[in-house]
Amino acid sequence: MNEKAIMALADENIMNTYKRFPIVLVKGLGQKVWDVEGKEYLDFVSGIAVCSLGHSHPQVVAAVKQQAEKLTHVSNLYYTEPQARLAKKLVDNSFADKVFFCNSGAEANEAAIKLARKYAHEYLGENKFELITMKDSFHGRTMATITATGQEKFQFGFTPLLEGFTYVPFNDLGALESAITEKTCGIMLEPIQGEGGVNIPEAQYLAAVREMCDRHNILLIADEVQTGMGRTGRLFAYEHSGIAPDIMTLAKALGNGFPVGAMLATNKIARAFSPGNHASTFGGNPLAMAAANATLDTIMQEGLLNVCRERGEYFLASLRKLQVRHKIIKEVRGMGLMIACALTIEGADIVNECLKKGLLINCTGGKTLRFVPPLIISQQDVNLAVAILDEVMEGK
């Protein structure tokens, strides 16, 4: 089928929930993807911070192939080895003692919200159920997670929302402290806000939030669905702050493109769940676990956290040079390879022109260009992307 026919078939039969770019992608390898017409693109979107090892990474492909031939799915009525192995690796490499597996970021956050409520119900008292979340946050598209998301545009038309959520501005300790009541059971935040525009809090913010949680005996939930798995130059972004959350959620890059999510917690919190409290048919299925095991192993074996930090610094420095040449760049910010350019103008035209020139980037909140390339990109890839941006921004 040609490009036009595929797009028409999709538009006719798929619900109208996405505004898509008018290209049809058919192949990916490393940091590149190709469309059905054979045009090549440098991919600085990575399926929205998902394919951190690049497309079709050989180790992940081999693991999925081998597992598919052996055992794909049996449900959680039984034990399987790939699930046990991944749980052990995540526990060994994080603050957490226990893992619950699911299939997406929203599901991981649903599980986190349920665990926080269950823990509070069992150990803190009947009336502690409220969660404080941040304005401009993003936690997913289910009913509980749009409620947790502090952006009205995601909630509009879907009321009534879930009870028990309040919102405060990110990076505002005073507002957070005043929002805590005797009903509060936890604070949920992204260590760096992703969809909200790559918003990085002040250096001491997370540590102060941790201290506040301890003082009020409430839980800290870190949504690391986007920041996790090496994106910011550490395996998990909370590590930059020297503190640890009580609960953490992962998804996006966990399986390098295979749909998989996880919710992690300390033993103290995890003990609130017992058999029957929460479940997922597909959660932790051998195929997803094979992909995630291979992904985590590759990040470690190839030293990608260091590569990410180095390449991120280089990319930031290159964008700051670009900022000197283009007045439309208001601010350049980022950590590791989670990087943004805040513009004075709408970003849509720039994104479209980059696409025409063979560079995939995306835009959050209208005026912020976001770059989340694979962690394996080279300096040349960065140079090429910056050169395309330079051309596109000329005269704007």
Ligand X SMILES: *Cc1c(COP(=O)(O)O)cnc(C)c1O
Give the separation between CA 74 and CA 156, rounded to whole angstroms.
39
Q: Applying CB under 6 A, does 136 fall inside the site for ligand X?
A: no
Nearer to ligand X, 365 or 388 (CB): 365
* Cβ contacts of 374 within 8 Å, gap of 6 or more: 30, 31, 43, 46, 51, 52, 53, 54, 55
User: How many positions of this chain bind ligand X (CB under 6 A)?
Assistant: 15
Nearer to ligand X, 253 or 389 (CB): 253
Q: Is 4 helix (H, G, I), strand (E, B) or coil?
A: helix
Give the separation between CA 101 and CA 155, rounded to whole angstroms.
26
Residue 138 a catalytic site member: yes
Burial of 61 (0-12, 13-18, 19+ CB in 10 A): middle
**Candidate list 223, 265, 319, 337; residue touching ligand X; CB under 6 A:** 223
Of 128, 257, 236, 122, which Cα lies nearest the Cα of 190? 236
- Give the residue nearest to ligand X (CB): 105
Nearer to ligand X, 60 or 192 (CB): 192
**Candidate list 55, 139, 210, 309; residue touching ligand X; CB under 6 A:** 139
Tokens of 205: 């913010």
Quote the DSSP letter at residue 319: H
The footprint of ligand X on residues 225-284 (CB under 6 A) is: 225-226, 251-252
**Candidate list 104, 133, 298, 368; residue touching ligand X; CB under 6 A:** 104
Q: Applying CB under 6 A, does 53 fall inside the site for ligand X?
A: no
Can you spell out the DSSP letters for 30-75? Answer: BTEEEETT--EEEESSHHHHT-TT-BT-HHHHHHHHHHHHH-----
Residue 70 a catalytic site member: no
Candidates 123-131, 135-143, 234-242, 280-288: pick the segment binding ligand X (CB under 6 A).
135-143
Candidates 134-142, 177-185, 214-222, 370-378: pick the segment binding ligand X (CB under 6 A).
134-142
95, 128, 170, 252: the active-site residue? 252
Look up residue 5 and give its amino acid.
A
> Is the bond into 275 cis (omega within 30 degrees of 0)?
no
Name the minimum Å distance from CB 149 to ligand X.
8
Q: Is 345 helix (H, G, I), strand (E, B) or coil?
A: coil
Give the separation between CA 263 and CA 250, rounded to whole angstroms.
6
Of 229, 356, 248, 384, which Cα lies nearest the Cα of 297? 229
Nearer to ligand X, 230 or 329 (CB): 230
Give the separation between CA 365 and CA 277, rounded to whole angstroms.
37
Q: Is 12 helix (H, G, I), strand (E, B) or coil?
A: helix
138, 154, 165, 170: the active-site residue? 138
* Cβ contacts of 68 within 8 Å, gap of 6 or more: 287
The footprint of ligand X on residues 165-194 (CB under 6 A) is: 190, 194
Name the minimum Å distance from CB 217 to ligand X.
26
Candidates 98-106, 197-205, 284-292, 376-384: pick the segment binding ligand X (CB under 6 A).
98-106
Name the minimum Å distance from CB 71 to ligand X.
25
Residue 390 a catalytic site member: no
Nearer to ligand X, 106 or 363 (CB): 106
Q: Applying CB under 6 A, does 363 fall inside the site for ligand X?
A: no
Burial of 310 (0-12, 13-18, 19+ CB in 10 A): middle
Candidates 24-32, 103-111, 297-305, 353-361: pick the segment binding ligand X (CB under 6 A).
103-111
**Candidate list 138, 154, 165, 170; residue touching ligand X; CB under 6 A:** 138
Candidates 22-30, 138-146, 312-320, 371-379: pick the segment binding ligand X (CB under 6 A).
138-146
CB count within 10 Å of CB 53 equals 25
**Candidate list 43, 195, 246, 381; residue touching ligand X; CB under 6 A:** 195
Tokens of 317: 């420095």
Nearer to ligand X, 112 or 393 (CB): 112
43, 136, 223, 246: the active-site residue? 223
Residue with tokens 């007045």: 327
Name the minimum Å distance from CB 263 to ligand X.
12
Name the minimum Å distance from CB 138 to ligand X.
5
Q: Applying CB under 6 A, does 110 fall inside the site for ligand X?
A: no
Give the sign of the dihedral formed by CA 172, CA 313, CA 93, CA 62: positive
Instruction: Catalogue the active-site residues.
Output: 138, 223, 252
Judged by the rule CB under 6 A, the positions of this chain that interact with ligand X are 104-106, 109, 138-140, 190, 194-195, 223, 225-226, 251-252
